[in-house]
Structure 1
């Protein structure tokens, strides 16, 4: 059971956390000279090293959970996309088909509509919903769990909904998806960004109490950034671009989850899996989407690829045991673990995309 404590939210003004896009000179090895073919080979070897752990009966990998297994399939699909191959197409399609067959209706968390916020009710919940918290509408927030009595509304589920809605809007042109993405993006913007530009975790939908201010995790910011990068293109609204850029720069340089050398320290767990191990992979993937969609901002693209190179070089030089990697990116190397390999995949795959050929 999570314990919620009151937290006074300060101004979410962009000016409060506008950031410099320069690359910190204290970062460890923020470039690499490996050619494209080598980077593709390194990424493919990393994926092939985790594949023996796949249980095709339930589309999960031994040693990690359901959502973490989903991220392995994401890395496999992204590899094919970036490398221009179909190496993993069959495994990804088969895995997704199996998961969909086994877990029907697995993601019905319930979104708070404007009408829900006004009425204080939501059809999937059996408690009165706070229409506003900290002076802001709760419309757009997404519940963490689908149970009728769970009151948690958090940034990762809302960020996922923002991203999904934005991608659907981009694909279909349907304003229904655009409006849904905007509403959820606004919920995070108005309620869930601290004065350092980092996305917070959870607000209680019944009494507005907030998770501790120290609950700062890379995936909350990473998934929101991914959603914003698509939303800015769908809407053409430069305010989303500004917000995305400022949050990306703040998160990339945050001492919350990295040392002065720039290496991410979050989720280092050599002996046991935990959710935090996979958070940083989602962060790296979100930053890559920001980079891809920021061709008009070379400084931001340089900052992102430099940051990924810090992680890439650390994994290869400090945390590698052959083609497997420790979940502790600053090292030392260790024997293979499924969760350590999971965490490394997005760094290896993203390196295909964020460096010169």
Structure 2
């Protein structure tokens, strides 16, 4: 996967050979799994990146109405948990990515064990949630914000960790409102999960949401009161996912309106999306400011945005709402997929890191980044 000498052309000549969506997307997954290690993680990428890759694979199966990859995911997660009990490490965002992966495995296997483990994660991270009146920065109450890690003297409160916690809380509330919730014990009430979800989402909107251009900012440093206003795709994407989950839970239109505004802005934001409509977020991880062989957390940020837009699309499909937004999301996903097929593959199921091309070289991290596009394509289909 990481041979720097594997440099190919655009891959355009191979599109006709793999015109079946199921084959194309599954082949990308199979290539990704070639990098699996004995500890259950993927070689060449980090712990949280592995969780995101597995989540994308699980979503691919979920949105394909299949369980083709469920068994290998179950085996890999068993291996990972031997080294990280309940998938917990010192970074709350890492741990929360794994919790969302656990919930997708639950939906594939219907095994409540995965929900129970996600609840353990929820309890663990809840210890890092700021209470009302506990901290104030620049006149803003930090209630609902989640510390980045459990390290002593941690002072970073960031939107990605808080968004992940909000969405996890909402998803657990949804599960507890269903029949399954009656079989989970001990478990907080659905109302407790809902309150946690709403309180953390409000922190993002109150403290890290720039309304005029509908973008989510990154971090607040508690001790210095510094506002770190980075605008990465995944912070905005994660708020979309949290708002969509809360709309599903509550049917309050404010959450849907928020998700819609964020989604529409994200699909045309300069610096994230090229003039032809291809999502690249080149400033975070793009050709010219990164070496293709070098892994970086930012390589998968845009993938999270694609996933979140697809999650929103599932909500809209289920409720038959916002048909124009549904069409916009589908077109956006298709544009990313088509660009990958035309400009960023060697035709062997391997993909490079530059979604708008040219194909450079395949690595574990470049393969990871495209998996959410593959999953989203299985959701929307090709007609």
- Asked whether 1:307 is paired with 2:302, we answer no
Hey, what does 1:181 align to over in structure 2? Answer: 197
- Asked whether 1:162 is paired with 2:166, we answer yes
TM-score norm. by structure 1 comes to: 0.82
Q: Is the 8 A contact 2:343 2:358 kept in 1?
A: yes
Alignment equivalent of 1:81, drawn from 38, 55, 62: 62
Counterpart Cα distance in 1 of 2:138 and 2:22: 48
SS of the counterpart of 1:203? Answer: strand
Counterpart Cα distance in 2 of 1:206 and 1:232: 34
Alignment equivalent of 1:259, drawn from 274, 284, 302: 274
Structure 1 alignment gaps of length 5 or more: 1-33, 121-130
SS of the counterpart of 2:148? Answer: coil
Query: What does 1:277-292 correspond to in 2, within 5 Å?
Result: 277-292=299-314
- Name the Cα RMSD after superposition: 1.9
Query: What does 1:7-156 correspond to in 2, within 5 Å?
Result: 38-55=20-37, 57-104=38-85, 105-106=88-89, 107=95, 108-109=124-125, 110-114=127-131, 117-118=132-133, 120=134, 131-156=135-160
- Asked whether 1:238 is paired with 2:253, we answer yes
Q: Is the 8 A contact 2:353 2:360 kept in 1?
A: no
Using the TM superposition, name which of 175-184 and 221-230 deviates more: 221-230
Counterpart Cα distance in 2 of 1:179 and 1:79: 30
**Offset of residue 40 of structure 1:** 1.4
Counterpart Cα distance in 2 of 1:103 and 1:218: 28
SS of the counterpart of 1:153? Answer: strand
Counterpart Cα distance in 2 of 1:207 and 1:235: 37
Q: Deviations over 1:180-200 (max 9, x none)?
A: 000000000111111311110
Counterpart Cα distance in 2 of 1:196 and 1:318: 30
Q: Is the 8 A contact 1:226 1:290 kept in 2?
A: yes
Hey, what does 2:356 align to over in structure 1? Answer: 330
Counterpart Cα distance in 2 of 1:328 and 1:49: 18
SS of the counterpart of 1:293? Answer: helix
Structure 2 alignment gaps of length 5 or more: 1-15, 90-94, 96-123, 178-189
Counterpart Cα distance in 2 of 1:175 and 1:150: 29
Q: Deviations over 1:206-228 (max 9, x none)?
A: 343111x3x11111111111111
Q: Is the 8 A contact 1:53 1:338 kept in 2?
A: yes
Q: Deviations over 1:65-116 (max 9, x none)?
A: 11111111112211211112221111111222222231123234543343xx
Q: Is the 8 A contact 1:216 1:256 kept in 2?
A: no
Alignment equivalent of 1:196, drawn from 197, 201, 213: 213
